Chains A and B, each alone.
Chain A
Amino acid sequence: MADFMTSTHRAKWIFTPQDLKEKYKAANQRAKQALEKYGSTRVDVNIDGSFSYAEHPNDAKENGDNHSRQKPLKVEEEQLMRAFYEFKIQDVCDAFKFPRKIQATALIYFKRFYLQWSVMEHQPKHIMLTCIYAACKAEENHVSAEELGKGIEQDHQVILNNEMLVLQSLGFDLIVYAPYRALDGFLNDVEEFCGAKEEQLAMLGSLHESAKVEVDKIMRTDAPLLFPPGQLALAALRRSNEACGIFDFERYLKSVLSRQHPTLSNSDLAVFLNAVDSSVNKLETPTSKDVKHIDRKLKSCLDPGSHDKSKKRKHRSKESSNDILDMS
């Protein structure tokens, strides 16, 4: 839909690596300060649309030492949590057999959301689900929150509670450009470029498939916030071709540039493609075991009360089971 050149995607959501670094750092700093000040990092949306940190003054008074046990996440830990949930997005979308486009849209929403917020401010698990939900709506593949929640055994209410926040944080810029379409275009073009015969066509078919898998990986890096979809697609194509060497990529690149971007030099583009390449090579896929420790820290930042409550509950249950009913 519409044109990438005039899109909000291009105008507002392509950054420099420095931009990203600063944004991640700023969000992290803000959450850290909130933790010191309020004993919690969770941000609530007030009824008037303003945001505020949830306060836990009681905790602070009653057991101040408890407070000091709360540790904020480091910038790198936030990054790891995001990586974990970005992988989850692909997992969930695969489970629902959603098309790749929806997966990519959800990932881009998720990335954009956490340019503005720290994972300490909004539970990434909830935001992940909400991004998938919103992506389905935007891509005309409506799935009810209930259905989505059921499918992954999560309370669908968290999706509905966060939907407006996510849309708002995205500035309602919901049309995003994934590299898959660009990739399809390049593959068609390559076929022509090679003057492909039957045998080669089959090979190009499998190249296409492996390039899609490369795009899947690229989508979990920062690259979609740094480069336009066409360059991401080219980077994926180069990666998959490197493995099997079906065609002369450099020569193809030259032909593309001379036809479409006479002003852009081969070496300029190579710099971009190398940058995408290196972020894919650095891509981490943390397991839940890897993030267990961080997740515990995250929970105590987001919701410091929950830990105490559950302790108290256990304690009370020894005294009288009836008390549990009063805990609501």
Chain B
Amino acid sequence: MGDGNTNQSSSRAGNSNSMSGNNNTSGNGNRPEWLQQYDLNGKIGEGTYGLVFLARIKSNRSKSIAIKKFKQSKDGDGVSPTAIREIMLLREINHENVVRLVNVHINHADMSLYLAFDYAEHDLYEIIRHHRDKVNQSINQYTIKSLLWQLLNGLNYLHSNWIVHRDLKPSNILVMGEGEEHGVVKIADFGLARIYQSPLKALSDNGVVVTIWYRAPELLLGAKHYTSAVDMWAVGCIFAELLTLKPLFQGQEVKGTPNPFQLDQLDKIFKVLGHPTQEKWPTLVNLPHWQADVQQIQGRKYDNAGLYSVVHLSPKNPAYDLLSKMLEYDPRKRITAAQALEHEYFRMEPLPGRNALVPPLPGEKVVNYPNRPVDTTTDFEGTISLQPSQPASSGNAVSGGMPGPHVMTTRSVPRPMPMGMPRLQPQGMAAYNLTSQAGMGGGMNPGAMPMQRGVAAQAHQQQQIRRKDPAGMTGYPPQKNSRRF
């Protein structure tokens, strides 16, 4: 962390001597202002791209930020394209049911990027798991319907902006914890999945799973071009999982294959939905794997076990009707997000509401979902290469309308939100120990995570605005009962 590092790691160290003169301050007393507003709680997630951290704003302890660190791309080819894809999409997006990027920070020392999001305490993976493993009880109908409606609402927004998520699964569907947006769904982690070369990471014991369970049949059969219908298939799988607490199509993944074809996954689908036929799905015969693999795919015989029996719904139930339309084989016939939002299911009691986790009717049981586990032993690992020097390092600092290291200013529309993160199992860590400063000891490197000064103030402002304006709800279906909100 010494001053020497500063020049050594500079790309033009030889000529860039402007920094050395005044760069003689060090130690914790010299943390940049942006960092002093935050407490690092610890690590909350991990993925192929990097780590996710939880931090709190000191001035507003209720305001949490999730910070996703993207390492430089491995192949020595500059800034991670994954990070670029995610940032550039999120910059253009603004919807209550989609994560909002609060800020982007750059660590120039190792060219890594930090994406700061509003923090979401829950996600569908944890919610489902809690019901299945802890309370041993199904999720109530109001909650399922509200979660699904908001998920579709966010997805409809994305699709109408020509954005296909491509990686919807329970762990990427976040739900806000207690606070102003309690129980609001946020679609996260997108622009990430690239179906044709998806990094199928091994199912490992720390629970990081990139699963094929939500993959649409046209992708499994090798369709070259896919549409937003692939997302609707995933929503159907998630809907069924909310109903039964079990993944609907739990195929065994064949690792290391560069193509998306997964026979066992197809097998699981066919067992429930029956064999697709050219009659029902005319373009089926054009799909590469359907043609190439006549013996294995077309040769097998399946009895139509019946989706309704798997999800324990009567075929007459509107919930079943909606689900079966999401799981339509032919992507061109599959229900769209916009159509789904208009489905009868959402027009009958209980009506969906904004706080999906708390049923509006008094007397109904409220499930208390656990907080996300935080690994407080981890700090911004791998980023300790940089000693932040005070900006007043030299007389020739560039001034004027220059963007600083904290590049993003939030766009004007107030809209708090969270972010998606892969699983991090609680094992070996103080599960609910949010003891603020634990990870913030002297070892933590402040420079690694530039944070924008304005965040606390912005967040505050947003909340004020929101309090005045209970809207954001304008898109909800007609409510008979005003108590819903």
A residues within 8 Å of B by Cβ? 1-3, 6-8, 11, 23, 26, 30, 34, 37-38, 42-55, 116, 121, 133, 137-138, 140, 142, 144-146, 159-161, 163-164, 167-169, 171-175, 303, 305
Contacts and interface: CB of A to CB of B under 8 A. Distances in A.
Contacts of B16: 44, 46, 52, 54
A50 B10 contact: no
Given A54-B18, A168-B407, A145 B393 contact: no
B84 A45 contact: no
A43 B111 CA distance: 18
Contacts of A174: 84, 87-88, 91
A8 B93 CA distance: 10
Contacts of B91: 8, 172-175
Interface in B381-412: 386-389, 391, 393-394, 396-409, 411
A164 B108 contact: yes
Contacts of A168: 106, 403, 405, 407
Contacts of A52: 16, 18-19, 393-394, 396-398
Interface stretch (B75-83, B143-151, B295-303): B75-83
21 contacts: A1-B89, A2-B161, A26-B400, A43-B398, A44-B18, A46-B10, A46-B19, A47-B6, A47-B386, A48-B386, A49-B406, A51-B402, A52-B394, A54-B15, A116-B401, A137-B84, A142-B81, A160-B78, A163-B78, A172-B407, A174-B87
B109 interface: yes
A55 B450 contact: no
A172 B88 contact: yes
A27 to B, nearest CB: 8
B5 interface: yes
Interface in B368-384: none
Of A34, A48, A159, A169, most buried by chain B (CB within 10 Å of CB) is A48
A116 B404 CA distance: 12
Which of B17, B163, B398, B401 counts the most A-chain CB atoms under 10 A from its CB?
Answer: B398
B403 A116 contact: yes
A3 B16 CA distance: 42
B74 interface: no
Interface centre among A7, A159, A171 (most CB of B within 10 A): A171
Nearest to A30: B400
B81 A137 contact: yes
- Decide if the interface of chain B is mainly helix, strand, loop or mixed: loop
A140 B82 CA distance: 10
Contacts of B401: 23, 26, 116
A6 B5 CA distance: 43
Given A44-B15, A49-B450, A53-B18, A171 B77 contact: no
Contact of B92 (A1, A30, A159): A1
A311 to B, nearest CB: 17
A159 B78 contact: yes
B398 A175 contact: no
Contacts of B88: 138, 172-175
Nearest to B21: A55
Which 5 pairs across A and B sit closest by C-beta, in order of nearness?
A49-B405, A51-B398, A174-B88, A53-B396, A44-B16
Contacts of B10: 44, 46-47
B94 A48 contact: no
Interface string B79-120: 101001101110111100000000010111101000000000
Interface in B437-484: 447, 450
A124 to B, nearest CB: 17
Given A2-B92, A53-B398, A305-B15, A47 B9 contact: yes
A261 B85 CA distance: 33
B11 interface: yes
A49 B404 contact: yes
A109 B111 CA distance: 20
Contact of A145 (B77, B389, B405): B77
Contact of B17 (A7, A30, A55, A167): A55
Identify the interface centre among B10, B77, B81: most chain A CB within 10 Å of its CB. Answer: B77
A140 B88 CA distance: 12
Contacts of A49: 106-108, 404-406, 450
B365 interface: no
B397 A50 contact: yes
A202 B94 CA distance: 43
A42 to B, nearest CB: 8
Contacts of B406: 49
A171 B105 CA distance: 11
B84 A1 contact: no
A146 B77 CA distance: 8
Interface in B1-43: 5-6, 9-12, 15-19, 32
Nearest to B115: A172
Contact of B79 (A30, A38, A163): A163
Given A171-B407, A305-B15, 17 more contacts: A26-B401, A38-B396, A44-B18, A45-B108, A47-B5, A47-B387, A48-B389, A55-B396, A137-B84, A144-B77, A168-B106, A168-B405, A172-B87, A172-B91, A173-B88, A175-B88, A175-B89
A2 B393 contact: no
Contacts of A8: 91-92, 411
